[in-house]
């Protein structure tokens, strides 16, 4: 499959690039600052060779990009998602909901969380960014479980 290499280079208005024949040092020095991405060529192998029309991502006012969201989640303070014991739901159901709602939750961990909440009245389900903690808590509540969140830095951690 044929591939085209696309580069994005930020140039200032007074940036001048005049390489001398055979001089690759300037290009090699600048290579680290370039964002390079390989893209498949449309119609490659079919006698084609045309590049796909580039997709220009426009920023929507009032909306954060996925990169900005991931960056803010990494820098936001961690929160605990807590599971409270109740007298309504069966233990098996609690384990099923935990595995459905929490990404990467294994059967063993879900059983341990359920048992701790059953015996102690409260258990930490996951520690994550506030946005994710609120979402997990909402989903647990939506499935009939008692749940809350709290900052991970408070409460003796």
Q: Tens digit of pLDDT for each residue in 58-108? A: 555 566 666 666 665 567 789 999 999 998 999 999 999 999 999 999 999
C-beta of residue 133 within 8 angstroms of C-beta of residue 140: no
Q: Whole-structure pTM over 0.75, yes or no?
A: no
pLDDT of residue 11: 47
For range 124-144, the mean pLDDT? 96
Buried b (16+ CB within 10 A) or exposed e, 47-72: eeeeeeeeeeeeeeeeeeeeeeeeee
Residue appearing with tokens 């591939």: 3
H/E stretch holding 54 reads none
pLDDT of residue 153: 80
Q: Tens digit of pLDDT for each residue in 99-131? A: 999 999 999 999 999 999 999 999 999 999 999
- In sequence order, which residues have a C-beta less than 8 Å from that of residue 97 and are 6 or more positions away? 140, 143, 144, 145
Is residue 103 classed as helix, strand or coil in its secondary structure?
Answer: coil
CA distances from 23 to 9, 26, 28, 31, 61 (A): 19, 7, 10, 14, 44
Q: Measure CA of the first residue to CA of the last residue in the chain; give whole Å.
A: 53
- In sequence order, which residues have a C-beta less than 8 Å from that of residue 77 and are 6 or more positions away? 130, 151, 152, 153
pLDDT level of residue 136 (50, 70, 90 thresholds): very high
């Amino acid at each position: 499959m044929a591939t085209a290499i696309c580069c994005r280079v930020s140039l200032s208005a007074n940036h001048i690039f005049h390489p001398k024949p055979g001089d690759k040092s300037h290009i090699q020095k600048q290579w680290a600052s370039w964002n390079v991405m390989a893209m498949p060529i449309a119609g490659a192998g079919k006698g084609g060779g045309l590049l796909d029309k580039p997709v220009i991502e426009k920023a929507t006012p009032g909306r954060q990009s996925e990169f900005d969201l991931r960056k803010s989640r990494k820098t936001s303070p961690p929160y605990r998602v807590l599971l409270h014991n109740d007298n309504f739901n069966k233990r098996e159901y609690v384990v099923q909901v935990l595995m459905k709602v929490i990404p990467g939750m294994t059967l063993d961990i879900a059983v341990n969380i359920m048992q701790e909440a059953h015996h102690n009245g409260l258990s930490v389900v996951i520690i994550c960014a506030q946005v994710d903690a609120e979402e997990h808590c909402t989903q647990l509540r939506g499935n009939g479980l008692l749940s809350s969140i709290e900052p991970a830095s408070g409460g003796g951690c």
